[in-house]
Amino acid sequence: VPARSQDKAPRQFRLAIHGGAGTIDRTQMTPEKEAAYRADLERALRTGHAILAKGGSSLDAVEATLRVLEDSPLFNAGKGAVFTHDGHNELDASIMDGATGSAGAVAGVRRVKNPISLARLVMEKSPHVLMVGAGAETFAREQGVKLVNPRYFWTELRWKQLQDAKRAEAEARAKGRTAFNAPANRETEGYKFGTVGAVALDRSGNLAAGTSTGGMTNKRFGRVGDAPIIGAGTYANNATCAVSATGHGEYFIRSVVGYDISALMAYRGLSVADAASEVVMKKLVALGGEGGVIAMDGAGNIAMPFNSTGMYRGWIDADGKVTVAIFKEP
């Protein structure tokens, strides 16, 4: 188990985030829409930065940053969560502490406003790592976590995307195809992903990672993706890296994406950039798994590979300089 760094000298800190990967089409992106995404990503980065700048922990920064994105209707997490096939919102989230290897996660919760905070409570206030559904919500109530009426998660855009996805599914079935999430048309292709994630390095040299999502539009009741699976959608280890993933979760679970990136660094000595690229651009591509990751090593080096057309992403340096990007080229 890697030890929590005791280093007292102020060090560099850094925070990186993603707001989901997928088919993000420039022709569908109006200047207003793009500005709104960029503004929320920057606001999230500045929230985490303020914590890290004061000497706060990477765990605190990751949680606070992701709460901002969960509360934004633009991202598929918290307020902007996508709908399941039967018209509900089922949220998944996880968080991991790179210093101690402890982790917490929740899946399939329907009434938790900020699932990332519940994941953190599972890590710190329960003997468990992953709690699901009604049990997770009972635990939330016991911990005084804010529960909301499920209607809180209803947004017109996500509802429309569900109807489009269902239509596409019916058409695909009529043609003898089985893909439950076949994209409907160019306008709605972007509906598939939109998860949020953060990785951070604090002044003490500790890494943390977190991911929060509504999953995939039109997913079946009870389906759980990679976001709450430690080692798949989220992983952190001070000795290697912190990772948060976004993409077609089934492939990310089967590829154990987060842990594989860490293992390539630990066992083969790869840099974070080479390890992340090997997994996202080679292994996932070979399997047909669309998406990307953000990964950060213990020195604050960041890698953000994605094999989709776009990934909402950004980072903030210790001096407060923000970079936000959406498409292949920033």
Radius of gyration for the alpha carbons in the chain, expressed in angstroms and rounded: 18
Residue keyed to tokens 């605190």: 60
Can you tell me which of 65, 161, 246, 262 binds ligand ASP, judged by CB under 6 A? 246
Q: Which of 195, 213, 217, 240 is catalytic?
A: 195
Query: One symbol per residue from 8 to 37: x for binding ligand ASP (CB under 6 A), - otherwise; what is it?
Result: ------------x-----------------
- Tell which positions 189-208 bind ligand ASP, by CB under 6 A: 193-195
Contact between 216 and ligand ASP per CB under 6 A = yes
H-helix or E-strand spanning residue 207: strand 207-213
Contact call for residues 228 and 130 (beta carbons, < 8 A)? yes
The CA–CA distances, whole Å, from 144 to 112, 136, 150 equal 11, 12, 17
Q: Which is nearer to ligand ASP, 249 or 300 (CB)?
A: 249
d(CA 188, CA 320): 35
Contact window for ligand ASP (CB under 6 A) among 66-74, 103-111, 146-154, 213-221: 213-221
Residues forming beta bridges with residue 6, ordered by sequence position: none
Candidates 74, 227, 243, 265; binder of ligand ASP (CB under 6 A) is: 227
138 has catalytic annotation: no
The single residue among 249, 298, 300, 310 that binds ligand ASP, judged by CB under 6 A, is 249
Residue number with CB closer to ligand ASP (13 or 75): 75
Q: Please compute, for residue 195, the number of CA atoms within 13 A of its CA located in the half-sphere on the CB side.
A: 35
> Facing residues of 244 across strands?
234, 294
Which H or E run contains 12? none
**3-class SS at 14?**
strand
Which region, judged by CB under 6 A, interacts with ligand ASP, from 102-110, 221-229, 234-242, 276-284? 221-229
Nearer Cβ to ligand ASP (1/157): 157
Is 226 an interacting residue with respect to ligand ASP (CB under 6 A)?
yes
Concatenated DSSP letters of 234-274:
EEE-TTSEEEEEEE-HHHHHHTTHHHHHHHHHHHH---HHH
Q: Which residues are catalytic?
A: 195
- Residues of the shown chain interacting with ligand ASP in the complex, contacts defined by CB under 6 A: 20, 76, 193-195, 213, 215-216, 225-227, 233, 246-247, 249
